[in-house]
């Protein structure tokens, strides 16, 4: 079944199913029982451009991602990544927490390498983890802290929440080591998507470090996989809902925002680092995608 729509924020998705939530920036944390109400429900199939983490305290249901089906029950913990086709069904009202964020938000507020520090956000589809009491209580406490800060009025709320998110991701990384949560991808299109996402991350990491001179294009990725460029492009579009160019452009903007927020590099230096010989071309591209010039974004 094909996705009906790609949702760029959690508020956009919930509005589509007649539920309203507030969202001030590209991060949210909410109690699940406040979001879904008391009645059973089944979502349509959809894709998102954000990462979602869910901790189920009580309730019953399941979710699907691509061709995989997972049961949801008390003390379930799982996350979904951008681009995948997914749906969920609530059979008995869920209580717990849902946390969402965009890669742009994380990159803009984390000076380290998210590809190296949090590879699970890029490389794998991870099944539900059914937590033991000590792991569950640890994640629950962190979610409660998120809720308190997210609903607060601090002028530094965004930065505080971002720092807490980094802690949360390191805790998840540690949790994955103990649970060894992996599944195999059983079809060629899924393997192509996985290979593309890994290669995209690798290429962009080298670009930002100054270890590569050009950003890969469709032909480069297809050559690596020894498949025809048209087939490669069609697979990425059908499996993720986005074109190869959209994936690449989004990563360029994400890296640009990170460099603007976390370094003292000039706009010209950032443009050159991201393989733009002409700063004005880079500035036009950045403004087209964000609505701001690089300088205005940095000073906002």
pLDDT at 2 over 50: no
CA distance 286 to 249: 10
Tell the residue number behind the tokens 């498949």, with chain if given: 227
Query: Selecting from 3.20.20.105, 3.30.465.10, 3.40.640.10, 2.60.120.280, what CATH number does the domain 6-179 have?
Result: 2.60.120.280
Tokens at residue 252, please?
């360029």
- Higher-confidence residue of 69 and 188: namely 69
Top-tier CATH class for 188-299: mainly alpha
Q: What is the pLDDT of residues 148-159, one digit of tens each?
A: 999 999 999 999
Domain regions of the chain by residue span = 6-179, 188-299
Q: 6-179 and 188-299: same fold? A: no
| Percentage of the chain lying above the pLDDT 90 cut | 45
Most confident among 45-54, 117-126, 136-145 (mean pLDDT): 136-145
d(CA 16, CA 25): 19
pLDDT value at residue 35 = 59
List C-alpha distances in Å: 118 to 133, 139, 150, 167, 221.
24, 17, 23, 11, 23
**Residue 294 or residue 69, greater confidence:** 294
Per-residue pLDDT tens over the stretch 74-108: 999 999 888 777 888 888 888 999 999 988 899 88
pTM of the model: 0.65
């Amino acid at each position: 079944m094909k996705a009906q729509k790609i949702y760029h924020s959690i508020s956009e998705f919930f509005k589509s199913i007649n539920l309203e939530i507030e969202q001030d920036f590209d991060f949210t944390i909410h109690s699940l029982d406040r979001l879904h109400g008391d009645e059973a429900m089944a979502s349509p199939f959809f894709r998102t451009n954000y990462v979602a983490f869910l901790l189920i305290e009580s309730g019953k249901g399941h979710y699907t991602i691509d061709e995989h089906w997972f049961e949801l029950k008390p003390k379930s913990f799982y996350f979904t990544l951008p681009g995948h086709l997914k749906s969920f069904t609530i059979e008995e009202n869920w209580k717990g927490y849902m946390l969402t964020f965009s890669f742009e938000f994380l990159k803009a507020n984390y000076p380290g390498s998210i590809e190296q520090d949090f590879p699970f956000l890029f490389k794998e589809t991870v099944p539900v983890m059914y937590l033991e009491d000590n792991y569950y209580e640890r994640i629950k406490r962190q979610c409660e802290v998120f809720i308190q800060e997210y609903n607060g009025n601090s002028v530094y709320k965004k930065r505080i929440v971002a720092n807490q998110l980094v802690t949360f991701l390191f805790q998840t990384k540690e949790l994955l080591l103990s649970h060894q949560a992996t599944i195999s991808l059983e079809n060629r299109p899924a393997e192509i998507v996985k290979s593309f996402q890994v290669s995209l991350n690798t290429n962009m990491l080298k670009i930002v470090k100054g270890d590569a001179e050009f950003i890969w294009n469709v032909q480069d990725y297809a050559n690596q996989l020894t498949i025809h460029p048209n087939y490669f492009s069609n697979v990425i579009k059908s499996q993720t809902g986005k074109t190869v160019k959209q994936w690449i452009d989004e990563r360029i903007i994400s890296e640009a925002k990170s460099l603007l927020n976390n370094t003292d590099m000039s706009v010209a230096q950032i443009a050159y680092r991201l393989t733009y010989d002409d700063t004005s071309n880079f500035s036009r591209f950045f403004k087209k995608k964000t609505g701001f010039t690089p300088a205005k974004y940095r000073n906002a």
